[in-house]
Amino acid sequence: MENNVQKTSTPPAAAIIRHSFSRPAKMNWIWPLMVMSLVLAAFYALRCALTDAALPFTVTSVTGYSIIVITLTLFAEVFPAVSLSEGFSERITGAYTGFGALILSFLSGVPIMMISIALYNFTAWFDLRLTGKSVYPVFFHYGQIATASGNILVFLSDCIIPGLGAAIFFFGFMWTRFRSTDTRKAAIVISLAYMLYSLNFTAAMSFLVTGVWCCYLRKRMHNIWGPFLCIVGSSLSEYLLPETLSRIDIFGISTYADISATYFYSSLPAFFMGVVLLLFFIRIFDSFAGSVRYEIDESVYDTTIPPFERSINLALITTALIFIVLWILVIKGVHL
């Protein structure tokens, strides 16, 4: 009799698999991440297959890069967010909380740019110093751009479209899958996922910092337009201020000795200046959040969101394994 009770109380393997991989009745945070990782893995395989393919343009040209990035953004971020958000799609974009806050979000992209480029340069130097080679990102374009249309296409594929996709999926859709009491956990998960999604080793810390700040903006502004404008402001300030702080060209150097000392003279002060400016913006946004917290109460939606722990299942392990394999392949340079 005890053995029968023991058998019936233990869920079968099929039930565990069904619970982990079938679409949840109440959408959690790991299932969309698993979908995104599977699409990303498919595009990585496609990128590897197209490396030596006979095409009218190479995958590292502006045209090839733009087509891949825009298509990836649609299939890995926009489409999953739209198709999986039935019943709460209006919460993805969030509430409009004023034009002034949007302007501040846009301006906060300047210190994010300073910190991001500094971290990028430090990582590039340490990578060359320790391993003797650079790890190239999966999706990149290489070569001089001589036309205005080319520059516009690069800005769209580097900033506007990926930034909008990230705002919709990570800081919109994913953010709504965490309860108001789990915002710190949400920031950790979303920032790490945003970094891993980039498949860019040299810029990994830059994506992590940007992800953390965009999660902060989403929490304070209650919409996706703050994070989106921050990403745009960061990229635009880098385009408009190329002589102030520039990235190390990992495609044009072979040893760490080739890196000019001016990169360090500019990166280190820029990093600390960016941190100081962010502290200034934090004080402003904290004050702003205090003035609107009685108007917007996101805790009313907590009952429609599964607990954080309910998402820790086989889907999480599968997603982690996919990202581990992808990053190992990236570091080994399989896509080159």
Q: What is the pLDDT of residue 146?
A: 66
**Where residue 302 falls among pLDDT bands split at 50, 70, 90?**
confident
pLDDT at 245: 82
**Cβ-count burial 220-230 (b if 16+ within 10 Å, e if not):** bbbbbbbbbbb
pLDDT score at 318: 93
- For residue 201, what pLDDT band results from cuts at 50, 70 and 90? very high
Question: For the stretch 60-97, what's the b/e string if a residue is b when 16 or more beta carbons lie within 10 angstroms of its beta carbon?
Answer: bbbbbbbebbbebbebbbbebbeebbeebeebbebeeb
Dihedral angle at the C-alpha atoms of 127, 136, 166, 280, nearest 10 degrees?
30
What is the C-alpha to C-alpha distance for residues 201 and 275, in angstroms, rounded to an integer? 22
- How large a percentage of the chain has pLDDT more than 70? 93
pLDDT tens digits, residue range 27-47? Answer: 889 999 999 999 999 999 999
Which pLDDT does position 293 carry in this prediction?
63
**Which pLDDT belongs to residue 5?**
47
- pLDDT value, residue 164: 96
Return the domain boundaries, the chain.
29-296+312-332
- 214-256 pLDDT, tens digit each: 999 999 988 999 999 999 999 999 888 766 688 888 888 878 7
117 φ, ψ (degrees, to nearest 5): -65, -40
Residue 66 neighbours by CB under 8 Å, 6+ apart: 141, 153, 154, 156, 157
Write the burial class of residue 281 (CB in 10 Å: 0-12 exposed, 13-18 middle, 19+ buried).
Answer: buried
Which of the two residues, 306 and 39, has the higher pLDDT score? Answer: 39
Q: Lowest-confidence range among 35-39, 128-132, 158-162?
A: 128-132
DSSP at 158: I
Tell me how far apart the alpha carbons of residues 83 and 68 are, in angstroms, rounded to a whole number. Answer: 21
What gap in Å lies between CA 257 and CA 76, rounded to an integer?
A: 39
- Taking Cα atoms as reference points, which of 188, 226, 222 lies closest to residue 290? 222
In which band, very low, low, confident or very high, does the pLDDT at 1 lie, cut at 50, 70 and 90? very low
294: buried, middle or exposed (CB in 10 Å: 19+, 13-18, 0-12)? exposed
Per-residue pLDDT at 298 exceeds 50: yes
pLDDT per position as a tens digit, 54-105: 778 788 888 889 999 999 999 999 999 999 988 788 889 988 888 888 999 9
For the cut 50, the answer to whether the pLDDT of residue 25 exceeds it is yes
Tokens of 102: 């949007």
CA–CA separation, 324 and 258 (whole Å)? 31
Q: What is the pLDDT of residues 133-145, one digit of tens each?
A: 889 999 988 777 7
Higher confidence at residue 238 or residue 114?
A: 114
pLDDT at site 242: 66
CA distances from 87 to 25, 27, 114, 170 (A): 11, 10, 39, 18
With 0-12 / 13-18 / 19 or more C-beta atoms within 10 angstroms meaning exposed / middle / buried, residue 56 is exposed
In this structure, are residues 168 and 77 in contact, taking their beta carbons and an 8 Å threshold? yes
Across the range 280-284, mean pLDDT stands at: 93
Residue 322: the pLDDT is 97
**What predicted TM-score, i.e. pTM, was given to this entire model?**
0.91
pLDDT value for 2: 47
- 259: confidence class by pLDDT, cuts 50, 70, 90: confident
In one letter, which amino acid is 98?
Answer: G
pLDDT above 90: residue 21? no
Beta bridge partners of 223: 94
pLDDT of residue 27: 87
More confident residue, 129 or 276: 276
Structure tokens at 266: 């500019």
